């Protein structure tokens, strides 16, 4: 435009050449330092070409000054646009280089901290303990080597009682025995304390039985509540609350009258089959129900033997096989697999 207006090599003519010059230099930039150099040389604040050109404004004849000024500004704008463009290209290629350098196969396995496992029986035990804690119970322990009094006699199994036959007992040479159930702990608790009592007693028990479906050692949890005015309804309500928390909130609970020497009335308790939710399946023989525990109101003979007056106090007790619950929960088909201690199985149980 204005550069064509004069024949001499004035500042205006110079500007077109400058832009050409810049474009040539810009083509040679290949990295960040080159880009920096180009930027400083052209639009540097102190000695940049654009700044120098602006400083030359005062030497331009007055009539051309306006055109010249606008020309420099246009040059500056173009240079800056181009610099930005090159900068962005450099950014992109730098990112791609650093990405290449850092790239990993993110699908490779992480290095996990080695975490162990709690035995499934004890996971179930703890779950049950927590349920009863919330209901105000405490946990009681007792010895595994017991005497006849605590394991049988105080529980209304007199000597020669046929119900003793159902509890194949390991005897020690000194006449004591391995407890066949956790019920001796309720005897010990009642002998040691006054009502109100609410305890649960998890532990190992032993029966002289070793075949595909039995283990000579297994686990039970015993529950006991003794106070004034404990009712059969309390037993029912407690078992419902417990079993619905242990299995599923919709679990149906059914009580059937039965017999145990140490409770009266005695009940066997069924739940709706946890596998089919009561629809009927192979596991529950299509009945929709599964027998899960034995319970009852503490027999007055047991209360008396334990120094508690059955005319004043009543109570309930229940006993549940923990191994069976673990088998149901984790789908373990055989009780003996629980005591193989196969770490490939055990490690799958979450802490």
Interaction residues for another protein, span 277-296 (CB under 8 A): none
Q: Which residue has the tokens 């629809």?
A: 279
Q: Which is nearer to another protein, 72 or 253 (CB)?
A: 253
Query: For residues 210-237, b (16+ Cβ closer than 10 Å) or e, as one string?
Result: eeeeebeebbbbbbbbbeeebeeebbbe
Q: Site mask, another protein, residues 309-328, x = CB under 8 A?
A: -x---x--------------
Shortest Cβ 99–another protein spacing (Å): 24
Given candidates 26, 54, 217, 281, which one binds another protein under the rule CB under 8 A? 217
- CA 154/CA 308 separation, integer angstroms: 12
Task: Give the distance, in angstroms, between the CA of residue 99 and the centroid of all CA atoms in the same chain.
Answer: 35
- CA 173/CA 198 separation, integer angstroms: 35
Given candidates 32, 78, 208, 248, which one binds another protein under the rule CB under 8 A? 208
Q: Which is nearer to another protein, 33 or 257 (CB)?
A: 257
3-state secondary structure of 260: strand
Minimal CA–CA distance to 181: which of 135, 136, 138, 146? 146
Q: Which is nearer to another protein, 15 or 201 (CB)?
A: 201
Which residues from 54-73 bind another protein, rule CB under 8 A? none
- What number of other Cβ atoms are within 10 A of residue 274's Cβ? 19
Q: Which is nearer to another protein, 47 or 282 (CB)?
A: 282
Q: Which is nearer to another protein, 6 or 231 (CB)?
A: 231
Q: What is the DSSP string of 60-94?
A: S-GGGHHHHHHHHHHHHHHHHHHHHHHHHHHHHHH
Query: How does DSSP classify residue 167?
Result: S
CA-angle at 207, arms to 206 and 213, nearest 5°: 110
Report the chain's C-alpha Rg in angstroms: 44
Shortest Cβ 276–another protein spacing (Å): 20
Q: Is 33 in the site for another protein (CB under 8 A)?
A: no
Q: Which is nearer to another protein, 51 or 176 (CB)?
A: 176
Q: Is 149 in the site for another protein (CB under 8 A)?
A: no
- Piece of the chain touching another protein by CB under 8 A; list 19-27, 58-66, 68-76, 343-351: 343-351
Which residues from 246-265 bind another protein, rule CB under 8 A? 254-259, 261, 264-265
Please report, in angstroms and rounded to a whole number, the separation of the first and last CA atoms in the chain: 83
Q: Is 213 in the site for another protein (CB under 8 A)?
A: no
Given candidates 19, 54, 131, 139, which one binds another protein under the rule CB under 8 A? 139
Given candidates 8, 105, 173, 250, which one binds another protein under the rule CB under 8 A? 173
Size of the site for another protein (CB under 8 A): 92
Q: Is 171 in the site for another protein (CB under 8 A)?
A: yes
Shortest Cβ 94–another protein spacing (Å): 31
- CA 125/CA 178 separation, integer angstroms: 21
Two tokens at 42?
């052209």
Given candidates 48, 234, 275, 337, which one binds another protein under the rule CB under 8 A? 234
- CA 186/CA 285 separation, integer angstroms: 34
Q: Is 116 in the site for another protein (CB under 8 A)?
A: yes
- CA 185/CA 224 separation, integer angstroms: 10
Q: Is 342 in the site for another protein (CB under 8 A)?
A: yes
Q: Which is nearer to another protein, 69 or 310 (CB)?
A: 310
Shortest Cβ 246–another protein spacing (Å): 16
Shortest Cβ 150–another protein spacing (Å): 14
- CA 172/CA 112 separation, integer angstroms: 47
Minimal CA–CA distance to 221: which of 183, 177, 248? 183
Shortest Cβ 107–another protein spacing (Å): 13
């Amino acid at each position: 435009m204005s550069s064509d207006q004069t024949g001499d090599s004035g500042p205006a003519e110079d500007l077109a050449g400058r832009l050409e010059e810049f474009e040539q230099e810009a083509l040679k930039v290949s990295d960040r330092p080159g880009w920096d150099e180009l930027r400083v040389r052209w639009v540097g604040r102190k000695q940049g070409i654009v700044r120098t050109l602006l400083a030359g404004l005062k030497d331009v004849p007055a009539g051309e000054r306006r055109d010249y000024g606008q020309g420099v500004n246009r040059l500056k704008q173009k240079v800056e646009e181009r610099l930005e463009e090159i900068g962005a290209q450099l950014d992109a290629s730098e990112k791609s280089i650093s990405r290449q350098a850092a790239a990993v196969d993110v699908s490779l396995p992480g290095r996990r901290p080695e975490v162990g496992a709690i035995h499934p029986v004890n996971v179930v035990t703890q779950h049950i303990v927590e349920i009863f804690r919330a209901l105000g119970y405490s946990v009681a322990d007792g010895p595994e080597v017991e005497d006849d009094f605590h394991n049988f006699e105080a529980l209304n199994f007199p000597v020669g009682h046929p119900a003793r036959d159902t509890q194949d007992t390991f005897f020690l040479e000194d006449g004591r025995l391995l407890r066949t159930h956790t019920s001796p702990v309720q005897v010990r608790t009642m002998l040691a304390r006054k009502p109100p009592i609410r305890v649960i007693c998890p532990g190992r028990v032993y029966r002289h039985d070793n075949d595909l479906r039995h283990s000579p050692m297994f686990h039970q949890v015993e529950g006991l509540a003794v106070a004034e005015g404990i009712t059969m309804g309390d037993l029912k309500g407690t078992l419902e609350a417990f079993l619905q928390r242990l299995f599923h909130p919709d679990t149906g609970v059914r009580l059937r009258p039965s017999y145990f020497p140490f409770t009266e009335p005695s009940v066997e308790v069924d739940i709706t089959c946890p596998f089919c939710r009561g629809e009927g399946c192979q596991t529950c023989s299509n009945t929709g129900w599964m027998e899960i525990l034995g319970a009852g109101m503490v027999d007055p003979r047991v209360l008396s033997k334990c120094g508690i007056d059955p005319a004043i106090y009543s109570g309930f007790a229940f006993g549940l096989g923990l191994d069976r619950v673990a088998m149901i929960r984790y789908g373990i088909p055989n009780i003996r697999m629980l005591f193989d201690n196969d770490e490939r199985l055990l490690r799958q149980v979450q802490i």
